[in-house]
Homo-oligomer: A and B are copies of this chain.
Amino acid sequence: MLTASEENYLKAIFHLAGKSKRPVSTNALASALQTKPASATDMIQRLSKKGLVSYHKYKGVTPTSGGNKLALQVIRKHRLWEVFLVQKLRFNWDEVHEVAEQLEHVESEQLIEQLDKFLGYPKYDPHGDPIPGADGSMAPLPSTTLAMLQPGDKCRVICARDSSSDFLLFLDKLHISLGAAIEVLDKFEYDGSFSIRVDEALPITLSSKAAENIYVEKT
């Protein structure tokens, strides 16, 4: 088992390496974790001994396939907790990170699987980032906005594209929350506005500007 610190480093290496798995420099890692390069080197060597990262002195570090898998599981936990905090505990979009950063280290297979179920197996976190499955698989980044839908289409809200607090406050006023089920009733060509139904409530009107800033997945 990994310590919280090891998990944080592994996750940071995973993120910094990106899709192309380019080597992560010691300085970049240290600065991402708000620590010193010497500490990063220490931890890199420890993770390397455990076979979780591939490391060549002065040449940077990348996750191994084993490290990759573990990093994805930590990210899975982090993002599921973020969904919980926003959808169930009514945290704001920008208040969840710190807390999820702690919760992600709680160790219990059962906990995370039941949480996933409780949340309805969400595919995206409140920032629109895909949630890895138990097997490490991930949905593609969200690309459909509410504005792309046609009357009769149904969808679920993933996240806001424009995550300014103004916009989020606006969504809150309309009771459009993360994970809300939306049905497109009508689209008015005149100004591109929509008539929609949110979570079985009475129909409301939404401007094209707002619709373009809401990422959804069709259901």
Q: How far is the CA of A107 from the CA of B115 in the complex (A)?
A: 20
Please tell me the size bucket of the interface on A: 10 to 19
B102 touches A114 (CB 8 A): no
A19 contacts the other chain (Cβ, under 8 Å)?
A: no
Q: Work out how many copies of this chain go into the complex.
A: 2
From residue 104 to 121 of chain A, which have CB atoms closer than 8 A to chain B? 106-108, 110-111, 114-115, 117-118
- Contact partners of A91 in chain B: CB under 8 A: 110, 114
A2 contacts the other chain (Cβ, under 8 Å)?
A: no
Residues of A bordering B, CB below 8 Å: 85, 88-91, 95, 98-99, 102-103, 106-108, 110-111, 114-115, 117-118
The 7 closest A-B CB pairs, nearest first, are A89-B114, A102-B106, A99-B108, A99-B111, A89-B118, A88-B118, A103-B106
Q: List 14 A-B contacts (CB under 8 A).
A: A85-B111, A89-B115, A89-B117, A90-B114, A91-B110, A95-B110, A98-B108, A99-B106, A99-B108, A99-B110, A99-B111, A102-B106, A103-B106, A106-B106
